[in-house]
Amino acid sequence: MKPLPCLLLASAALLLLAACSRVTPENYAKLEAGMTRDAVYAVLGEPDEVSGGGVGKLTMSAEVWRGNKHRISVTFAGDTLALKSIDAAQAN
């Protein structure tokens, strides 16, 4: 294959992947309090942002997934989903 068609094919594939965001209201609806971190990751993939801390055995973490149209935030108590929210993605 010549370089230009390969480049066009690769660019089209990247655009398709970018359009297939897992950060959707449909996937948000699949999240339920009490789910494990692994179960949430199976739905949304790896988060874009993680922050948290703990005292003794009590740990809390806030994780954020950013998509083209939405942003999903999840709070874990230990490794269990405690809170979730979704909002419109902010333009940069």
Q: Could you tell me if residue 7 is inside a domain?
A: no
Q: pLDDT per residue over 21-79, tens digit each?
A: 899 999 999 999 999 999 999 999 999 999 999 998 899 999 999 999 999 999 999 99
User: Into how many domains does the chain fold?
Assistant: 1
More confident residue, 91 or 5: 5
Q: Could you tell me if residue 4 is inside a domain?
A: no
Q: Residue 39 belongs to what domain range? A: 22-88
Residue appearing with tokens 């709070």: 75
CATH of the domain at 57: 3.30.1450.10
Strands, E, within 1-92: which ranges? Answer: 49-55, 58-66, 70-77, 80-88
User: Would residue 11 be called left, alpha or beta, if left means φ above 0 and alpha means ψ between -120 and 50 degrees?
Assistant: alpha
Q: Is the pLDDT of residue 1 over 90?
A: no
Q: Is the pLDDT of residue 4 over 90?
A: no
Q: Could you tell me if residue 14 is inside a domain?
A: no
pTM as predicted: 0.75
Average pLDDT over residues 7-26: 67
* Cβ contact 33:77 at 8 Å: no
Q: Could you tell me if residue 26 is inside a domain?
A: yes
Q: Could you tell me if residue 41 is inside a domain?
A: yes
